[in-house]
Structure 1
Amino acid sequence: MDQLIASLHEALPDEAILTDPDVTATYANDMAGFCEAGAPAVVVMPRTVEQVQHVMRTATALRVPVVPQGARTGLSGAANATDGCIVLSFVRMDRILEINPVERIAVVEPGVVNAVLSRAVAEQGLYYPPDPSSWEQCTIGGNIGTGSGGLCCVKYGVTAEYVLGLDVVLADGRLLSTGRRTAKGVAGYDMTRLFVGSEGSLGIVVKATLALKPAPREQLALAAEFPSAAAACEAICEIMARGHAPSLLELMDRTTLRAVNTMANMGLPESTEALLLAAFDTPDPAEDLAAVTAVCKAAGATEVVPAEDTAESELLLQARRLALVALEKVRSATMIDDVCVPRSRLAEMIDGTAAIAERHDLTIGVCAHAGDGNTHPVVCFDPGDADEARRARISFDEIMALGLELGGTITGEHGVGILKKEWLAREIGPVGLELQRGIKKTFDPLDLLNPGKLF
């Protein structure tokens, strides 16, 4: 420990190195439940690339594991510390280095908060689309590490589609630049995409070049109530099959709706089994809403309410924004799953999750990025009740198994981390696992970068 701290001090100021155990313990874990976390030896908060390089050279020389962290809003344990590790926190590397309207790019450090970047580019008439629900807190580095998504993915895509280039500090301290600033580029292997979603296990992102889009028009939304998940999913499939391009397409099941009603008194009918929210930022959103209204009614919607202006749209979308907060109030803890299935299997996923909840006598609400098939079953439980916690964990695993059975994936945007290591192996199979481990060994032969995550 003394040698580690002394070596770090050779190139880092005192204020960048935290060693008080009471302080370092607060950096031990992210927001995931059921994920073990160790005790960090030290927390380092660098401000420069050179400082990060020094940390990695020190870690390699002393064989000390390094766990990179952003805002720790993750939900898979990917940012959890291991015993004796260096936690490398990027909250102080938070500069927006460039916003270029001509090239439509932004260059940022990893600690830039998503919402801060979004607002900064909006001032120049530009748009950074990836918007995780934690966008007011989460950082771009964390978004890149987990390959995160958000509400607008149905039209604009996920983080991976906006990362043009990266500067990455490797395990031995060398600096690697990947990708480009140009709109096109296919030289060599796509190393940039390799790092996106790697959860800090291959290298430490210290700078990112991100693609931007022109600012979209203001969107108009509608809310459609359905008597069953199957009817709502029939409407979703028809909306996509007809070529509509909603900027948002979200679904909430009856459990989530009732939780929101209880918390916010929104007056949603108790008979509603599923609520579909759709929004458009097209040149004529009212025309698109009229077309989708017809689709929803044909699929059996009992009520469709289109907004007339952006203020009404925000009111309609409020129920979705409150969903996770409302479910957190049902019990003292939640586990948020992240299973993505083909759109055509959404109803089976929702109904199957309801059956799992009934079988284990639990409250499990489902909200979904319906246009992507990305469901977020939220298991509500009391961690102080050992039996209920056990049933919660079993239900979580059964939900992931159901997703795979339906041709889906165990994570659409939250990542694998610690929580889903066993399930990654099941999803990609032994050959895929062998190759991924081989890639890890090439970049990190000493297994120092975020060890114990992914596999």
Structure 2
Amino acid sequence: MDALAELVESLPAGVVATDPATVDTYRHDWSRDVGAGTPVAVVRVEDAEHVQVAVRWAARHGVPVVPRGAGSGLSGGASAVDGGIVLSLERMRAIEIDTSCQVAVVEPGAFNAEVKAASREHGLWYPPDPSSYEICSIGGNVATNAGGLCCVKYGVTTDYVLGLDVVLADGTLITLGGKRIKDVAGFSLLKLFVGSEGTLGIVTRAILRLVPLPLPPATLVASFPSVVAAAEAVVAVRRSLRPSMMELMDRATINAVEDFSPRGLDRTAGALLVAQSDAPGDARTAEIATVEAACVAAGATEVVVTDDPAEGEMFVEARRMAFPAVEARGSLLLEDVGAAVPLLPDLLAAVTEIAERHDVEIPTVAHAGDGNTHPIIVYDAADADSERRARAAFDDILQAAIRLGGTITGEHGVGRTKKAALPDQLGEDVMALSRRIKDALDPAGILNPGAVL
């Protein structure tokens, strides 16, 4: 029996797919990484035991394993490897809500939106809120330590992970943490796996902290002559407040969204800032008034405030629409560089300068309240010079963030598309330590090889 036949035989019918048409659909995540390889099989596991069987087989035969959730990643973290297997967790979708402990016990294939919906039935909320929440999986969120629109006030995925079950590179299943809120027994191994992008182990279950449902928000929408002016308003607000949302869209993004799904946004604005407050009672009114004053002082040309949840959600949905709207304009290189909030104007100014210098279009949105920006580089994949200029701009944006003491990735992960710049941010000592951790947990290097390090 050859090695692949052994894998097929060791798992139930339909779990291992080897036909080329099926395998081809699992080669890329949403980044469309041009370096993605061709796996020999896709293993669509149905429980943790299947994961163990597949990983033990891979360890015996030295076969690379690329874990995959919903395939919505934006940095090539789930790009397939030649001769490897893609281990898809899409069929592991169970969700259990424990209202007494206020936690969700979730399998990795469950969508973020499904966890939110299940929690809401019990008056609870799972706050991490990526723009792709309707199509991204909890396993992928844990793998990249995903953030989103609400993180300025509510934090990111790691702030809500209380426990994980993880299959290691030798097939061992370990359990870390649990339903308890406080636990400092031993090293903080739980946090080591959050954000590790499948390079240290494969998550098969997560215990997620839930919170009471927030109050309906008030929404403010402000138009500015430039992204720098909008960013200066954000800096002023964040000196004293943490609104529940502060999102920015530049003119190119506004127009892409209006072309893709008209919302009546001001196409002439240099930037649009969408802010929300879900504070109780008079505090909400006071927060919105403070945000409005900061916007006016920074040069806002128009400020609109609404207490209507549906109207407010329309503006939020326009912001969520940015990636698919811009994607309709051409091929994309996706960034998520970040800096300290006071340096947000400098980071956005640097992106504008890079776009002009390389003569490329870079629509930009931002989780502005926490300094995390998403420059989206648009290019023509059929034009070699267009692609060359786009990739040069991509590299320059990473370096601009590093020069500002920022980061090459705030929430999408390093994956394969940003790994070349990682040593420039972390330095060789930290890179060496990271490699020692990787070598200790995955000595044969079979887990997501080529990602991150």
Interval containing the TM-score (normalised by the shorter chain)? over 0.9
- State the secondary structure of the residue aligned to 2:10: coil
Task: State the alpha-carbon separation in 1 of the partners of residues 321 and 44 from structure 2.
Answer: 33
Q: CA deviation at 1:14?
A: 1.7
Could you say if the C-alpha distance between residues 367 and 390 of structure 1 is closer, same or farther in structure 2, counting changes exceeding 3 Å? Answer: same
Kindly provide the CA deviation profile for residues 147-183 of structure 1, in whole angstroms up to 9, marking residues without a partner as x. Answer: 1111000011101111111111111111111122201
In the alignment, structure 1 segments of 5+ residues that lack a partner are: none
Q: Could you tell me which of 327, 337, 340 is aligned with 1:339?
A: 337
- State the secondary structure of the residue aligned to 1:437: helix
Q: Which residue of 1 aligns with 2:201?
A: 203
- State the secondary structure of the residue aligned to 1:143: helix
Task: State the alpha-carbon separation in 2 of the partners of residues 265 and 165 from structure 1.
Answer: 42
Q: Which amino acid aligns with 2:245?
A: L
Q: Which amino acid aligns with 2:351?
A: T
User: Does residue 223 of the first structure (1) align with residue 214 of the second (2)?
Assistant: no
In the alignment, structure 2 segments of 5+ residues that lack a partner are: none
Q: Which residue of 1 aligns with 2:378?
A: 380
Kindly provide the CA deviation profile for residues 82-130 of structure 1, in whole angstroms up to 9, marking residues without a partner as x. Answer: 111121101111111x211121111111111111111001100000011
Q: Which residue of 2 aligns with 1:396?
A: 394
Query: Are the equivalent residues in 2 in contact too, given 1:232–1:275 (CA < 8 A)?
Result: yes
Task: State the alpha-carbon separation in 1 of the partners of residues 442 and 87 from structure 2.
Answer: 16
- State the secondary structure of the residue aligned to 2:427: helix
Q: CA deviation at 1:202?
A: 0.6
Q: Which residue of 2 aligns with 1:260?
A: 257
Q: Which residue of 1 aligns with 2:273?
A: 276
Q: CA deviation at 1:325?
A: 2.6
Task: State the alpha-carbon separation in 2 of the partners of residues 6 and 267 from structure 1.
Answer: 57
- State the secondary structure of the residue aligned to 1:14: coil
TM-score normalised according to structure 1 size? 0.96
Query: Are the equivalent residues in 2 in contact too, given 1:35–1:418 (CA < 8 A)?
Result: no
Kindly provide the CA deviation profile for residues 35-72 of structure 1, in whole angstroms up to 9, marking residues without a partner as x. Answer: 41111111111112111111111111111111111111
Query: Are the equivalent residues in 1 in contact too, given 2:223–2:303 (CA < 8 A)?
Result: yes
Q: Which residue of 1 aligns with 2:315?
A: 316
Q: CA deviation at 1:360?
A: 1.5
Q: Which residue of 1 aligns with 2:106?
A: 108
Equivalence map 1:286-325=2 (5 Å):
286-325=285-324
Could you say if the C-alpha distance between residues 328 and 174 of structure 1 is closer, same or farther in structure 2, counting changes exceeding 3 Å? Answer: same
The range that moved more, 278-287 or 128-137, is: 278-287
Equivalence map 1:60-71=2 (5 Å):
60-71=59-70
**How many pairs align?**
451
Could you say if the C-alpha distance between residues 273 and 168 of structure 1 is closer, same or farther in structure 2, counting changes exceeding 3 Å? Answer: same
Task: State the alpha-carbon separation in 2 of the partners of residues 255 and 61 from structure 1.
Answer: 51
Could you say if the C-alpha distance between residues 257 and 9 of structure 1 is closer, same or farther in structure 2, counting changes exceeding 3 Å? Answer: closer
Q: Which residue of 2 aligns with 1:145?
A: 143
Could you say if the C-alpha distance between residues 15 and 333 of structure 1 is closer, same or farther in structure 2, counting changes exceeding 3 Å? Answer: same
Q: Which residue of 1 aligns with 2:346?
A: 348
- State the secondary structure of the residue aligned to 2:430: helix
Q: Which amino acid aligns with 2:72?
A: T
- State the secondary structure of the residue aligned to 1:27: coil
Q: CA deviation at 1:269?
A: 4.1
Q: CA deviation at 1:416?
A: 0.6
Equivalence map 1:33-48=2 (5 Å):
33-48=32-47
Kindly provide the CA deviation profile for residues 312-356 of structure 1, in whole angstroms up to 9, marking residues without a partner as x. Answer: 2123334312322332233x2111101011111111111211111
- State the secondary structure of the residue aligned to 1:53: helix
- State the secondary structure of the residue aligned to 2:93: coil
TM-score normalised according to structure 2 size? 0.96
- Over the residues paired in the alignment, what is the CA RMSD in angstroms? 1.5
- State the secondary structure of the residue aligned to 1:237: helix
Could you say if the C-alpha distance between residues 269 and 112 of structure 1 is closer, same or farther in structure 2, counting changes exceeding 3 Å? Answer: closer
Q: CA deviation at 1:194?
A: 0.3
Q: Could you tell me which of 162, 165, 169 is aligned with 2:163?
A: 165
- State the secondary structure of the residue aligned to 1:364: coil
Query: Are the equivalent residues in 2 in contact too, given 1:251–1:370 (CA < 8 A)?
Result: yes
Q: Which residue of 1 aligns with 2:247?
A: 250
Kindly provide the CA deviation profile for residues 252-291 of structure 1, in whole angstroms up to 9, marking residues without a partner as x. Answer: 1222223234444545445422211100111133332222
- State the secondary structure of the residue aligned to 2:176: strand
Task: State the alpha-carbon separation in 2 of the partners of residues 303 and 367 from structure 1.
Answer: 19
- State the secondary structure of the residue aligned to 2:141: helix
- State the secondary structure of the residue aligned to 1:272: coil
Q: CA deviation at 1:34?
A: 4.3
